[in-house]
Amino acid sequence: MRMLHTMLRVGNLDKSLQFYTEVLGMTLLRKRDYEEGRFTLAFVGYGDEQNHTVLELTHNWDTTSYELGNAYGHIAIGVEDAYQACAEIKSRGGNVVREAGPMKGGVTVIAFVEDPDGCKIELIQLDKDARNN
């Protein structure tokens, strides 16, 4: 078994695709409209679906926003340099809601950004040993 994807409902598919592809650097892997169901599915990620876990963005045509609720946490993305990643995300118009720095009570460098629907994405700076494995 392996994880295939995580699904997020988005209020504005164009804004979300722009964020995940242009700001976070993912690739749009596939997109399909389901006219009878009045929704669109778009899959984005850092690699093909055969070998990588991806993100499914679901846009229900008649819904423009969602409440996150208190069960949702965040999506985590490993980065080589969280400080540089934050600078690049800001330069592309992204919203950094927690600047890069050590996590409270630890040494791992993290940061948080927010997508157009308010979903949090954690950037975790990978240590050199993790990058080399």
Q: How far apart are CA 100 and CA 38, in angstroms?
A: 39
Range of the domain at 15: 5-60
The verdict on whether 67 is a catalytic residue reads: no
Q: What pLDDT is stored for residue 24 in this prediction? A: 97
Q: Within this chain, do residues 16 and 49 fall inside the same structural domain, yes or no?
A: yes
Q: Indicate the range of 3-17, 41-55, 65-79 predicted with least confidence.
A: 65-79
**pLDDT (tens digit per residue) in 89-104:** 999 999 999 999 999 9
Q: Within this chain, do residues 80 and 128 fall inside the same structural domain, yes or no?
A: yes
Q: How many domains does the chain have?
A: 2
Q: Within this chain, do residues 128 and 79 fall inside the same structural domain, yes or no?
A: yes
Q: What pLDDT is stored for residue 71 in this prediction? A: 84
Q: Within this chain, do residues 17 and 52 fall inside the same structural domain, yes or no?
A: yes
**pLDDT (tens digit per residue) in 18-70:** 999 999 999 999 999 999 999 999 999 999 999 999 999 999 999 999 998 88
Residue 127 pLDDT level (bands cut at 50, 70, 90): confident
Residue 110 in any domain: the answer is: yes
Identify the active-site residue in 22, 49, 80, 122. Answer: 122
Residue 54 in any domain: the answer is: yes
CATH at 107: 3.10.180.10
